[in-house]
Amino acid sequence: MSLASRFREMAEYLDSRFAIPRITDVFLPPLDDSGQPTEAEFMALFLESGATGLSFVMIPAQDAAAYRALQPRSLIGKDPREFALAFGGDDPVAQMLGMASINAISQHVMKEIGLQQDTVTDSLGLLMIEAGDSVGMVGLFSGLVATIQATGADLIIIEKDERLIEENHELPITSDATQLATCNKVLCTGTTVLNNTLDEVLGHCSPDAFVSVVGPTVGYFPDPLFASGVDVVGGRVVTDSEAFLQRLIQQERFKGTTQKTCFQKETYPGIEALTSA
């Protein structure tokens, strides 16, 4: 089963067990044709309960008109399930709305069941990188490159963006995901879920590799990722939706309005156990 199918199944399961609130607001940053600046990389979808779903804005030039044609007001009052069940297709605008909806639905349910999330464990630290390791980095985490290389571990960076490959030619960076086969530890950006590439990435990883998926767009229950072979999921939940929206509008970072979270496959009880009480 594809990862996208697992996400759609999860959305249907949560909708069948909980009353999912309607959409009350949607924030869309202006689209920059030359690439989104770091302060305007995310859109957000808000539910009546205050639950918030994030998505990275990753819109190719050919789909820019469709993005700009979106009217946030037209989405107010709609059921987020509608967008969640469209997740997994080739339309990047629908993917963006689907990812935000899956995150919002998940965060609503997490609040409803009073889920005590692990906000202490560093998901990156769980990789425990050391000399002798062969590390695959899927998506360029610029701030981590020097730290990983300082351990003496081998590093290969897999990046789809040709511009980033050209700009960082001094790094061990390539678009060839088959090189992950020799890695015993793999760190993936959460955007691999958004752009439907994580299935391919995992297909190139060794069955014994320790795989971690992290990023601000990871705000959902980790079950689809764990079922696909991921070991650690590090994400982010919005703790103050009103203040968070203001930070987005003012193009500021999320400090004080979100909380990092960590799920570990070996200790996670599963969504059915969590929601059956």
What's the pLDDT band for 23 if we cut at 50, 70, 90?
very high
pLDDT at 181: 97
CB contact at 8 A, 40 and 30: yes
- Rounded Cα distance between 169 and 61, Å, is 24
Residue length of the chain: 277
- Give CA–CA dist 242/262, Å, rounded: 24
Token pair for 23 = 């959409």
CB 209 within 8 A of CB 219: no
Exposed / middle / buried, residue 173 (Cβ in 10 Å: 0-12, 13-18, 19+): buried
CB of 52 closer than 8 Å to CB of 238: yes
**Predicted pLDDT of residue 130:** 94
**CA–CA gap between residue 35 and residue 137 (Å, rounded):** 22
Q: What is the pLDDT of residue 197?
A: 95
Q: Is the pLDDT of residue 277 over 70?
A: no
Compute CA distances 96 → 45, 56, 84, 139, 206, whole Å. 10, 7, 10, 18, 30
Tens-digit pLDDT profile for residues 76-123: 999 999 999 999 999 999 999 999 999 999 999 999 999 999 998 988
Report pLDDT digits (tens) over 210-255.
999 999 999 999 999 999 999 999 999 999 999 999 999 998 888 8
- Specify the pLDDT at position 2: 95
The confidence band for 40, taking pLDDT boundaries of 50, 70 and 90, is confident
Instruction: Check whether 36 has a pLDDT greater than 90.
Output: no
Q: Please give the pLDDT value at position 180.
A: 97
Over 80: is that where the pLDDT of 132 sits? yes
Residue 127's DSSP bridge partners are none
Which distant-in-sequence residues (6+ apart) come within 8 Å of 123 by Cβ?
A: 212, 214, 232, 233, 234, 260, 262
Beta bridge partners of 55: 43
The tokens of 205 are what?
Answer: 């990883």
pLDDT above 90 for 7: yes
Tell me: pLDDT of 64 over 80: yes
In angstroms, rounded to a whole number, what is the distance separating the alpha carbons of residues 233 and 245? 25
